[in-house]
Amino acid sequence: MSLQSINPATGTVLERFEETAPPQVDRILARADTEWRDWSRRPVAQRVAPLSAAARLLRDRKESYARFMALEMGKPLEQGAAEAEKCAWACDYYAEHASAMLAEVPRQTDASRSYIRFDAIGVVLAIMPWNFPFWQVFRFAVPALAAGNACVLKHAPNVPRCAVEIERLWKDAGLPEGLFQSVLLQNEGAARVIVDPRVRAVTLTGSDRAGSVVGEQAAHHLKKTVLELGGSDPFIVLEDAVVSRAATVAAEARLQNSGQSCIAAKRFIVVERVADEFLELFTEAMRAYRVGDPLDAGTQIGPQARRDLRDNLQRQVESSVQRGARIVLGGRVPDGPGAFYPPTVLDAVQPGSPAFDEETFGPVAAVIRVRDEVEAIRIANASAYGLGASVWTADPARGERIARDIDVGSVFVNGLVKSDPRLPFGGVKRSGYGRELSEYGLREFVNVKTVWVA
């Protein structure tokens, strides 16, 4: 069976890749299980050297990697180059800070000496998504490798070329053979890797449905998991906000990565007093974004990654309109080839509609009007998801107070939600559990070991 690399802008098949056969999967796991044991005993300073080399290669090759992303999943070139730069930033960050993060922590006890070590746990399987085909991989791999683990990547089936190029990059960066390997499998094929006893932990970024399946499989075999799942992030605009600024950033927050981001703002919860002004300015900002071929330099929004995803987005829009929402902008599948979908604004979105209750993974914004701050917080929390939230107010202290009451993993006051190597990233509720990035992400895949010496 083969995996296909398909250009979502045209529907053209670019390449076919043979699925990794079971005997080869077995060899990959055997190699990883052998190599991490030596790797984990090396000084951290040696383990981070390939990270610095990888950062240089990412910057040198960013235009090439951007083209692979554009062709396989529709990301505009400028955004793909920025994604490669962000991966390089993560490499540099951990190259500088991993030693301090992994240093032994002394504890005063009844022992003559006692301390905490952070030791590698072994082979980490990563099941990664297509929407940020480089960043999502580096986000897990860089801290995992720095901690002394080996990584096996099961990438999304529609970005096999990106998977191949990432494995090649680590090899070119001087990472010892066997510490980062890729298996090309359909999604169903991940199960037989999860259950393999040589895999000690699993990390998945994807939908909450996929997270439920993978989490159950891993739990049955008592394996540690980190699940970074979907989101329906609220973007709260209070009556004292600078509405023009909030509307501009709101469009950016909704349309980042052509709307295909778990932390893209999706529910725009606006206090009624400023709702009309916000809607007008927000719609203008959304309309100004240019949709087109991701290989064209001026394109800001490419196609959706697959036609079936675009069609499901249209279903969500139509169903929300049937439940009382009003289309202000977009909302119709354009003619022509490819999986394109226009920036879309829905006003008066109601509970019980897909735009309110589900994750809309594309350039569709749901505007929800509320009376005041109290109702804004209630609506923000009225979601099965809890990944990120953005709060807009002229009073930062007010924003911080509201941040305590919103049930999510990250709150950004007067800014759009984003991931940053210096800050932990993850969610609650159906947005998953565990953290990536910062020292918290690095320590997800270590054995926190107590040593007590009499």
Active site residues: 228, 262
DSSP state of 333: P
Going 335 to 361 to 391 to 440, the CA torsion angle's sign is negative
Residue 216, H or E segment:
helix 208-220
Beta bridge partners of 105: 116
3-state helix, strand, coil split of the chain in percent (to 5) is 45, 20, 35
Handedness of CA 193, 197, 198, 201 (dihedral sign): positive
- What is the 8-class DSSP label of residue 301? B
User: 388-392 and 199-205: which strand pairing?
Assistant: unpaired
Which residues have C-beta within 8 Å of that of residue 177, sequence separation ≥ 6?
31, 35, 171
Q: Give Cα 79 distance to the centre of its chain.
A: 15
Alpha helices in 221-368 (DSSP H): 243-255, 272-287, 307-322, 354-357
Cα atoms in the Cβ-side hemisphere of radius 13 Å centred on 76: 21
Interior angle at CA 213, CA 211 and CA 217, nearest 5: 115
Burial of 73 (0-12, 13-18, 19+ CB in 10 A): buried
**Residue 364: which of 442, 260, 273 has the closest Cα?**
260
φ and ψ at residue 380, rounded to 5 degrees: -60, -40
- Alpha-carbon distance of 46 to 95, in angstroms, equals 10
CA 99 vs CA 104, 112, 305, 419: distances in Å: 10, 25, 38, 22
How far apart CA 217 and CA 229 sit, in angstroms, is 16
Region for 336 from its dihedrals, namely left if φ exceeds 0, alpha if ψ lies in -120 to 50, beta otherwise: left
Of all helices (H) and strands (E), which one includes residue 367?
Answer: strand 364-370
Distances (CA, A) of 439 to 6, 98, 100, 226: 37, 8, 9, 15
Is 207 strand, coil or helix?
coil
Angle 54-56-61 from CA coordinates, rounded to 5°:
90
